[in-house]
């Protein structure tokens, strides 16, 4: 069926096309903005089925009815927008910036530090999570820490610092997220959507000397897993188990990503750059 999504609004550039960035891109595309996303050549995406960045390797990828397509040149973005698609550029250095001239820029890399975003890059700039200071390197910081303040807009200051502890899901926190014990090549032994039990082998890291198994630390559905043959550094997130056991959650945007997308939309409307009726006091 033909994509009937209409994208004829202002240009919004989203840095990153991973899980949280894709939630932001999805919300803004659904509300008519011309969204363009940038990525690195080899993105590390555990929940790749719900990431527009999967288009980097696949050429095209759909997330909850919204299509993305890899483009080689920013001049191709207009064609993608007319087709109701989100263009994805391999452009971590934002060489496309002067040509695209976005009204809004959202840094959603989730690197826990600023990788080069500046307020001068767009009329309104947003930084997701720790690593940004509102009023200094971005106009608005969006809180990404789960809890009472999730998705709160911060107009002065910083988000809560990174705790290093995964958010709790169904009473499970650290045990639901898996990290690489060393650098090497990750090889998957299970697939996203499978039910797994504590102790199951989900994959291995091969450093060229001795492969090391990655074991499940709790029961649930394997909601995220790096693609096999992915090179990783030490202590990189490689898997995500959802103890709630709902398979459909594996291919849908999370409540956190949707909330962040809604927060950015609110911040754009409050800024007054679209309408004089939406000024933020």
Residue 97 sits at the vertex; the CA angle it makes with 92 and 100, to the nearest 5 degrees, is: 125
Residue with tokens 């990655």: 214
pLDDT at 279: 46
- Statement: the pTM of the whole predicted model exceeds 0.75: yes
| Nearest residue to 251 via CA among 97, 61, 83, 96 | 61
pLDDT in tens, 163-192: 888 888 889 999 999 999 999 999 999 999
DSSP for 176-224 reads: GEEE-SSSEEEEESS-TT-EE-TT-EEEEEE-SS--EEEE-SS-EEEEE
Q: What is the DSSP letter of 46?
A: T
| Nearest residue to 191 via CA among 201, 182, 181 | 201
Q: How far apart are the two ends of the chain, measured CA to CA in Å? A: 44
**Residues near 96 by beta carbon (within 8 Å), at least 6 away in sequence:** 13, 36, 38, 74, 89
Tens of pLDDT along the chain (281 residues)?
456 788 999 999 999 999 999 999 999 999 999 999 999 999 999 999 999 999 999 999 999 999 999 999 999 999 999 999 999 999 999 999 999 999 999 999 999 999 999 999 999 999 999 999 999 999 999 999 999 999 999 999 999 998 888 888 889 999 999 999 999 999 999 999 999 999 999 999 999 999 999 999 999 999 999 999 999 999 999 999 999 999 999 999 999 999 999 999 999 999 999 865 444 44
From CA 226, how far away is CA 180, in angstroms rounded? 11
């Amino acid at each position: 069926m033909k994509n009937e999504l209409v994208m004829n609004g202002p240009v919004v550039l989203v840095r990153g096309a991973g899980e949280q960035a894709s939630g932001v891109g999805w919300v803004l595309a659904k509300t008519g903005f011309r969204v363009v996303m940038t990525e690195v050549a080899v993105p590390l995406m555990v929940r790749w089925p719900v990431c527009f960045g999967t288009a980097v390797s696949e050429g095209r990828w759909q997330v909850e009815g919204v299509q993305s397509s890899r483009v080689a040149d920013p001049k191709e973005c207009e064609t993608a927008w007319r087709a109701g698609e989100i263009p994805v550029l391999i452009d971590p250095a934002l060489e496309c910036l002067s040509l695209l001239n976005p009204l809004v820029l959202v840094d959603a890399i989730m690197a826990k530090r600023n990788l080069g975003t500046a307020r001068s890059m767009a009329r309104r700039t947003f930084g997701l999570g720790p690593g940004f200071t509102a009023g200094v390197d971005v106009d608005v910081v969006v809180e990404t820490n789960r809890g009472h303040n999730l998705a709160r807009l911060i107009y002065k200051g910083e988000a809560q610092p990174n705790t290093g502890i995964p958010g709790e899901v169904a009473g499970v926190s650290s045990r639901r997220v898996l990290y690489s014990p060393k650098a090497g090549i990750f090889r998957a032994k299970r697939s996203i959507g499978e039910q797994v039990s504590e102790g199951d082998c989900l994959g291995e890291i091969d450093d060229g000397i001795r492969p090391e198994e990655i074991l499940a630390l709790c029961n649930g559905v394997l909601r995220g897993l790096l693609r096999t043959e992915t090179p990783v550094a030490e202590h990189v997130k490689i898997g995500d188990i959802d103890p709630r056991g709902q398979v459909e959650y594996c291919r849908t945007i999370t409540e956190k990503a949707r909330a962040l997308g809604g927060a950015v939309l609110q911040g754009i409307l409050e800024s007054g750059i679209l309408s004089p009726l939406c000024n933020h006091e």
